[in-house]
Amino acid sequence: MRCLTFLLLLAAFNLPAQEAPPALTEYLGRQIAQTMHWKGAEWLMRRVREQEEGPSKMREELHVKPGMTICDMGCGNGYHTLPLAEMVGDKGKIFAVDVQPEMIEMLRQNIERKGLKNIEPINGLYHDPKLPPNTCDMILLVDVYHEFSHPVQMLAGMRAALKPDGLLVLVEFRGEDDSVPIKVEHKMSKAQINKEMNANGLTLKREFDGLPWQHLMFFGKTETK
């Protein structure tokens, strides 16, 4: 009865049932990067991106099939969301999650311009991807993971959203490669990526080393014996 009264009071005063955990500036020896501001969103749609990052090749390597449910985590204004929606087709679905409402608004406008019907935009939280459990065949993070201020909570939420054979796909600028012209805290080495994924119940299943500037690594849930 006391518990019920407490919950009713929380609802009445609109208080969060659970405080957001503190943001990290470092995780497992890596400095966490600042979130890219929505005011820079036009840069995400730059023409030279195709030459610099090979995004079409990257999407080809995802082996997307019609009917799949895919999450574009940290979708920004939808650079990858829109082509992915066409790849999964009418029977498939894209969850497009971002923490900045301005990015989601730009995404909505881009979706409308293209007339796409199979994308669900989601305003995520820094510590909660707001994805339904056990729904995703794949969760794609392009140039996003290194910005997470709450990597542990985000990985737990995404892991729960993956189907048993679902894959979490990281695309990160190569930290081992000085010729990649990106700030150090926006890059990650393979060793660091593996360390952080393994610490959170995810194991490398596949990787593709043919992109100009980025690692492309596929993780599945670590099997427990």
Ligand X SMILES: C[S@@+](CC[C@H](N)C(=O)[O-])C[C@H]1O[C@@H](n2cnc3c(N)ncnc32)[C@H](O)[C@@H]1O
Please give the Cα distance from 102 to 134 (Å, whole number): 28
Selected binder of ligand X within 124, 166, 175, 220 (CB under 6 A): 124
**Cβ pair 126, 149 in contact under 8 A:** yes
Eight-class DSSP state of 119: E
Q: Could you tell me which stretch among 21-29, 110-118, 143-151, 217-225 binds ligand X (CB under 6 A)?
A: 143-151
Q: Could you tell me which stretch among 5-13, 74-82, 85-93, 176-184 binds ligand X (CB under 6 A)?
A: 74-82
Please give the Cα distance from 42 to 221 (Å, whole number): 35
H or E segment to which residue 215 belongs? strand 214-221
Q: For residue 138, state whether it binds ligand X (rule: CB under 6 A).
A: no
Q: Could you tell me which stretch among 1-9, 76-84, 203-211, 217-225 binds ligand X (CB under 6 A)?
A: 76-84
Kindly tell me which of 4 and 84 has the beta carbon lying closer to ligand X.
84
Q: For residue 155, state whether it binds ligand X (rule: CB under 6 A).
A: no
Longest dimension (CA), the chain: 63
Query: Token digits for 117?
Result: 């019907």
- Kindly give the pairing relationship between strand 214-221 and strand 202-208: antiparallel
Q: For residue 110, state whether it binds ligand X (rule: CB under 6 A).
A: no
Please give the Cα distance from 192 to 116 (Å, whole number): 37
Q: For residue 196, state whether it binds ligand X (rule: CB under 6 A).
A: no
Q: For residue 214, state whether it binds ligand X (rule: CB under 6 A).
A: no
Residues contributing to the site for ligand X (CB under 6 A): 35-36, 44, 73-76, 79-80, 97-100, 103, 124, 126, 142-144, 147-148, 154
